[in-house]
Structure 1
Amino acid sequence: MNDEGQPYRLTRLPRGLTLRALVPNAITVAALCSGLTGIRFGIVGNWEKAVIAVILAGLLDGIDGRIARLLRAQSRFGAELDSLADSLSFGMAPALILFLWSLQDLPRFGWFAALGLAICCALRLARFNAQIDVQEQPHKSAGFLTGVPAPVGAGLALLPLYLWLASGRDEFREPVAVAIWVAVIAFLMISNLATLSWTSLRPRRNIRLEMLALAGLIFAALLTEPWWTLAVLCAGYLVLMPYGVFSYAKIRRQRAARMAAALTDGASAQAD
């Protein structure tokens, strides 16, 4: 009761987003800003900063989802925001950077190659969103991805730029070769190829110290020779792609054999 003898009224505090929910979304927005800033650096011809901005966007994109799961702050809004940021940072940004750097010297076809990269990135992300609630996903259930993921695709598309920055040779800036390369990467992004994910990479325990040493050496190489190191990492990923395809084919054969054995056992049990 208050001083006038009236009962107190309980009022609800205004509801809003908690800091826990804002953190992963803020990281996603930071990734979006980083990718778009890469376009700004590309417009003024600062190619090194343009590449670094796209790579930074990829690093931020790699941690926002993990932080959301760690904080239990996953939301549909965050998933949609992440896809929108990925489309701009890994589709539009590298496409415009490559166009300004090389593809604009190839009349007509250069712009179509850049458009293809941006469109295929958007299509890949749309396919990913459409399959979020789909229960039966053979690649995902086996620990693989379908096609080259958007951040990796952006990094691979920029490979000619890495080589040009590392060597200074204009052969890597040849617009016809760059256009063909960009078209290949765009196709790989929307392909149905089974590609490796972090969950499918499981090195044996007896080489874990060697893996840690390799990670340290790669980090040191990125600090001293970033462009050659990025080029080598891209080459390593391309070399591992056939391994991912063969590994998934092996898992699929094993699943088919187990299913056939189960059907045979079921038929035998019914016959008995």
Structure 2
Amino acid sequence: MSADRDQDPDALEPVPSALLRPPARRRRFRNVPLRIVLPNLITLLSLCLGLTAIRYATEGSFERAVFFIVAAAVLDGVDGRLARALKGTTRFGAELDSLADFVDFGVAPALTLYFWNMHQMKSFGWFAAMVFAIAMALRLARFNAGLDDPDRPAWASNFFTGMPAPAGAITALLPLYLHLSALGWVFERWAVALEIAYLLGIAGLMASAIPHFSGKSLGRVPREQVIPVLFGVAVFVLLLATFPMEVLAAVVILFLALIPFSLRSHRRYVRRDAEKARSFPA
């Protein structure tokens, strides 16, 4: 019986199908170019600055906390422009940038103001800090959702819907600038209530649909204006290094004063598109 079994091919046990399959190809990982890695590294650096600002806020070094938040805002503007210039924009980079922005411009400013003096109002101060962080999260989520909107007109890139994240953080710290400036304004307990109302107002501007100038159209400078622009930038940097809190306070006041002009400009574009739609119906 055993000899017949060895000679009969039909009596052989079937070979498992897994052994008959061709060997699977090794998964090859493509090399990621440096033009994609570099903007993400800058984003991670800005995240480190935001976390360091939280550390200094908990230690009571509020001037250093302001410095790191402002530095994170500068890097936030650099990484996006660098990614577009190097053609290294990716979905991963956009998501990482949003997460870093929430920490840098939502959590860090709110905790800085709370540890500075809003804790005097106890639950009301913490409530304002949470509302500001929530408004920042909603603003960033709306921005990410708007990236995939194909129906946006070309002029919409000149405006942000709601106050931008870095601008919201820098604007929210205005009371701290006034305290640390040469004015030395002291925010007593009754003034903290005004500070909380101001912070809630900034949170409302971020979560609202009020348009703000984006500044993305300022990528090119006319040849005849290069020298004046360089001179103006140099003067601004020197003033910022010499009188940082005073300059930041002036920038915030100027930015808030531009909101009505951005709203009027946005309405002008909308009115122009409506007139074109009436003149050339589909």
TM category, shorter: 0.7 to 0.9
Tell me which residue corresponds to 1:181: 198
Alpha carbons of 1:262 and 1:245: their partners in 2 closer, same or farther (altered >3 Å)? Answer: same
Gaps of 5+ in 1: 1-10, 267-272
Contact preservation (8 Å) 1:102, 1:178 = no
Alpha carbons of 1:261 and 1:90: their partners in 2 closer, same or farther (altered >3 Å)? Answer: same
Tell me which residue corresponds to 1:238: 256
Matched, 1:128 2:143: yes
Instruction: Provide the TM-score with structure 1 as the length reference.
Output: 0.86
Which one of the candidate residues 209, 220, 226 is aligned to 2:244?
A: 226
Tell me which residue corresponds to 1:169: 185
Letter in 2 for 1:133: D
Tell me which residue corresponds to 2:119: 104
SS in 1 for 2:258: helix
Alpha carbons of 1:139 and 1:260: their partners in 2 closer, same or farther (altered >3 Å)? Answer: same
Tell me which residue corresponds to 2:172: 157
1:122 to partner: Cα distance? 0.5
Tell me which residue corresponds to 1:6: none
Measure the CA separation in 1 of the matches of 2:28 and 2:265. Answer: 55
SS in 1 for 2:160: strand
Measure the CA separation in 1 of the matches of 2:276 and 2:29. Answer: 56
Contact preservation (8 Å) 1:54, 1:94 = yes
Contact preservation (8 Å) 2:157, 2:214 = no
Counterparts of residues 34-45 of structure 1 (less than 5 Å): 34-45=49-60
Give CA-to-partner distance per residue, 1:87-140, whole Å, 9 cap, x none: 010000100000000110002111000001101000100111112111123596
Measure the CA separation in 2 of the matches of 1:238 and 1:43. Answer: 29
Contact preservation (8 Å) 2:46, 2:72 = yes
Which one of the candidate residues 32, 39, 42 is aligned to 1:24?
A: 39
Counterparts of residues 73-92 of structure 1 (less than 5 Å): 73-92=88-107
Percent identity over the alignment? 41
Question: How many residues are matched?
Answer: 255
SS in 2 for 1:74: coil
Tell me which residue corresponds to 1:144: 159
SS in 1 for 2:212: strand
Letter in 1 for 2:105: F
SS in 2 for 1:171: coil
SS in 2 for 1:145: strand
SS in 1 for 2:167: helix
Letter in 1 for 2:130: L
Letter in 2 for 1:169: W
SS in 1 for 2:187: helix
Letter in 2 for 1:250: R
Letter in 2 for 1:23: L
Instruction: Provide the TM-score with structure 2 as the length reference.
Output: 0.83
Alpha carbons of 1:231 and 1:146: their partners in 2 closer, same or farther (altered >3 Å)? Answer: same
Gaps of 5+ in 2: 1-25
1:18 to partner: Cα distance? 3.1
Measure the CA separation in 2 of the matches of 1:198 and 1:17. Answer: 30
1:75 to partner: Cα distance? 1.1
Give CA-to-partner distance per residue, 1:1-40, whole Å, 9 cap, x none: xxxxxxxxxx997534333321111100000010110000
| Structure 1 stretch displaced more, 19-28 or 140-149 | 140-149
Max Rg structure: 2
Tell me which residue corresponds to 1:269: none
Give CA-to-partner distance per residue, 1:166-221, whole Å, 9 cap, x none: 02221388321111111000000011011101135699968765544433322121
Give CA-to-partner distance per residue, 1:67-91, whole Å, 9 cap, x none: 1122222111111000000001000
- The CA RMSD over aligned residues, in Å, is 2.4
Contact preservation (8 Å) 1:103, 1:175 = yes
